[in-house]
């Protein structure tokens, strides 16, 4: 039995080498007594800004048992764990925080319980026998979160957040294809999905020796709350996690990467572009292939939903203030309906959008693109052509890629609005339009009648937005506010009138 231990780290130069060495020595001792037959440690650097990555490479690059994974920008613990899993090969997978506040010697307890026949073994602060050197503030937050989870989800698990868990590999292969959350409530979503699919879960006591003060920033608390409510919406309103999914064995689909005019086989032989079969798949445009990720999760989604086009999400590095403003306006949940939660759910109303450097199409679709003489190096040209043929895309966060392109605030924003209108996907646009038009109307009416109370909804809404951004981004939120005001006025006018614009466009075509 091979075990993979995944250790995500962010700015951990002070401890990462010592802690990885400690875990390696521990696993060597387990191997010596035949508790495991083989092991690997997957260290995932989540966009650290210090010397973490350099130290890891200097210390462990010669050890084949240490797998080093890098996220170019920080994307959160959940994404790091997911990325680490897709770079692993163990029969069982252990997730552990790299600061080792939870002593790794407890991995043995998880393996022992796993061998009794459980699919998942997790440590829990609420189990009898737990020893907690844990700040009182953390205890209060943990208890409040437990009560919240119990009320919202009714999970038979008292502690979803403790950072030491063991999974059978097949559990993660299935569950991660359903995952949306990348950051704060990753553990909750993962265990909720596992529970929905009737995997057996065992909880064991834990020893925690917490090293920091226990302070939790308001932004982390806020985003954790938002992630939790989003999971509740998907679980209880959309029933997203209840939809059937199949994990095909032995990867029944053949995958290729498009390279110039050649199809490079990932799990098959290379081909010329004209030799593609309808039931084969081509991955187009700037993507570093991870075979475990693409062939496992891609195949499971294709098999489950019988689809031919898969689009992925994208991350932009916010290197300067204009990049920060553009990213926060174009990808705002409030200002752009594309990024509300419905976008991540498979249905026939999703819009093909040029917003990702990752695109996978079946052979039939690829032949169509060739017949249309599409520029296969231009993702916008590809997706606009596909709009003629398809009314849907699958937009999944499992393939988050990093773009080096610079966002053009006005051009990109209006491109997305125009595609919404032209495809008739305007329900979210109308809702936002009416909301913002009403707010600006109350402000205008307040000025016209010299009645400050009429402007109260307007003032309250934008004040709450400003507080929200200040919590998340600090003083940069102040810079963002005037741009948000301008674009909210634009969305108010265009959104309210979008049904008329759509009817005019439909009449002309």
Q: Which residues of 138-168 are buried (b: 16+ CB within 10 A; e: fewer)?
A: beebbeebbebbeebbeeebbbbbbbbbbbb
Q: Residue 395 belongs to what H/E stretch? A: strand 394-403
Task: Please report the pLDDT score of residue 301 as a whole number.
Answer: 63
Across residues 278-301, what is the average pLDDT? Answer: 64
What beta strand segments (E) does 55-147 contain? 66-71, 92-96, 120-124, 131-133
Give the strands of the sheet with 271-272, arranged side by side: 271-272, 262-265, 255-259, 281-284, 359-362, 309-316, 394-403
Which band of pLDDT confidence, cut at 50, 70 and 90, is reported for residue 223?
Answer: confident
Q: Which of 152, 175, 303 has the alpha carbon at shortest distance from 237?
A: 152
Cβ neighbours of residue 112 closer than 8 Å, sequence gap 6 or more: none
Q: Are 299 and 267 in contact (CB under 8 A)?
A: no
d(CA 129, CA 112): 17
Across residues 455-466, what is the average pLDDT? Answer: 94
What beta strand segments (E) does 191-305 contain? 201-205, 207-209, 255-259, 262-265, 271-272, 281-284
What beta strand segments (E) does 143-254 contain? 164-168, 201-205, 207-209
Which band of pLDDT confidence, cut at 50, 70 and 90, is reported for residue 339?
Answer: very low
Task: Please report the pLDDT score of residue 312 as a whole number.
Answer: 59
Model pLDDT for residues 182-208, shown as the tens digit of each residue: 677 888 889 998 988 889 999 999 888
Across residues 48-66, what is the average pLDDT? Answer: 92
Which band of pLDDT confidence, cut at 50, 70 and 90, is reported for residue 332?
Answer: confident
Across residues 364-387, what is the average pLDDT? Answer: 79
DSSP state of 308: S
Backbone φ/ψ region at 208: left (φ over 0), alpha (ψ -120 to 50), beta: beta
Task: Please report the pLDDT score of residue 388 as a whole number.
Answer: 62
Which band of pLDDT confidence, cut at 50, 70 and 90, is reported for residue 426?
Answer: confident
Model pLDDT for residues 435-447, shown as the tens digit of each residue: 999 999 999 999 9
Task: Please report the pLDDT score of residue 502 as a whole number.
Answer: 87
Does 294 score more than 60 pLDDT? no
Across residues 148-157, what is the average pLDDT? Answer: 86
Does 373 score more than 80 pLDDT? yes
Task: Please report the pLDDT score of residue 383 as a whole number.
Answer: 65
Across residues 57-65, what is the average pLDDT? Answer: 92
Does 398 score more than 50 pLDDT? no
Average pLDDT, the chain: 80
* Percent of the chain residues topping a pLDDT of 70: 80
Which band of pLDDT confidence, cut at 50, 70 and 90, is reported for residue 282?
Answer: confident
Across residues 420-445, what is the average pLDDT? Answer: 87
Q: Which of 414, 469, 423, 463 has the alpha carbon at shortest distance from 439?
A: 463
Model pLDDT for residues 469-487, shown as the tens digit of each residue: 888 778 888 889 999 999 9
Beta bridge partner(s), residue 265: 256
For the chain, domains (ranges, CATH) are 2-241 (3.90.550.10), 255-412 (no CATH), 428-508 (no CATH)
Q: Which of 94, 114, 116, 106 has the alpha carbon at shortest distance from 41?
A: 94
Which band of pLDDT confidence, cut at 50, 70 and 90, is reported for residue 350?
Answer: very low
Task: Please report the pLDDT score of residue 397 as a whole number.
Answer: 41
Task: Please report the pLDDT score of residue 424 as a whole number.
Answer: 73
Task: Please report the pLDDT score of residue 248 as a whole number.
Answer: 56
């Amino acid at each position: 039995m091979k075990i993979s231990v995944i250790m995500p780290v962010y700015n951990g130069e002070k401890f990462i080498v010592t802690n990885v060495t400690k875990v390696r020595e521990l696993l060597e001792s387990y191997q010596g007594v035949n508790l495991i037959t083989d092991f690997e440690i997957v260290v995932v650097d989540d966009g650290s800004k210090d010397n973490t990555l350099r130290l890891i490479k200097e210390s462990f690059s010669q050890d084949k048992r240490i797998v080093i994974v890098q996220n170019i920008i920080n994307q959160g613990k959940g994404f790091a764990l997911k990325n680490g899993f897709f770079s692993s090969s163990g029969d069982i997978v252990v997730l552990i925080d790299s600061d080792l506040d939870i002593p790794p010697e407890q991995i043995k307890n998880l393996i022992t319980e796993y061998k009794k026949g459980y699919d998942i073994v997790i440590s829990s602060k609420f189990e009898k026998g737990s020893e907690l050197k844990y700040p009182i503030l953390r205890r209060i937050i943990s208890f409040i979160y437990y009560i919240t989870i119990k009320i919202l989800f009714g999970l038979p698990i008292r502690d979803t957040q403790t950072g030491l868990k063991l999974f059978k590999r097949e559990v993660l292969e299935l569950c991660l294809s359903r995952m949306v959350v990348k950051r704060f409530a990753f553990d909750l979503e993962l265990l909720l999905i596992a529970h929905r699919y009737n995997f057996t879960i065992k909880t064991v006591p834990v020893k925690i020796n917490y090293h920091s003060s226990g302070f939790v920033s308001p932004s982390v608390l806020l985003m954790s709350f938002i992630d939790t409510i989003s999971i509740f919406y998907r679980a209880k309103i959309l029933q997203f996690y209840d939809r059937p999914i199949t994990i095909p064995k032995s990867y029944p689909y053949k995958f290729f990467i498009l390279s110039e005019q050649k199809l490079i086989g990932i799990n098959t032989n290379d081909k010329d572009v004209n030799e593609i079969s309808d039931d084969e798949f081509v991955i187009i445009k700037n993507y570093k292939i991870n075979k475990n990720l693409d062939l496992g999760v891609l195949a499971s989604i294709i098999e489950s939903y019988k689809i031919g086009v898969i689009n992925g999400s994208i991350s932009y590095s916010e290197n300067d203030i204009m990049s920060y403003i553009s990213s926060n306006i174009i990808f705002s949940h409030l200002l752009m309906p594309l990024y509300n939660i419905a976008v991540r759910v498979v249905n026939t109303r999703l819009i093909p959008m040029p917003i990702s450097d990752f695109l996978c199409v079946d052979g039939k679709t690829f032949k169509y693109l060739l017949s249309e003489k599409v520029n296969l190096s231009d993702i916008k040209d590809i997706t606009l052509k596909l709009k003629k043929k398809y009314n849907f895309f699958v937009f999944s966060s499992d393939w988050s890629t990093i773009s080096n392109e610079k966002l053009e605030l006005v051009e990109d924003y209006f491109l997305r609005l125009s595609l919404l209108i032209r495809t008739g996907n305007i329900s979210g646009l109308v809702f936002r339009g009416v909301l913002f038009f009403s707010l600006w109307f109350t402000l205008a009416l307040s000025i016209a009648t010299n009645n400050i109370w009429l402007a109260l909804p307007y003032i309250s809404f934008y004040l709450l937005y400003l507080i929200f951004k200040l919590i998340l981004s600090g003083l940069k939120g102040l810079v963002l506010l005037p741009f948000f005001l301008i674009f909210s006025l634009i969305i108010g006018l265009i959104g309210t009138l979008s049904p008329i614009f759509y009817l005019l466009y439909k009449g002309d075509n």
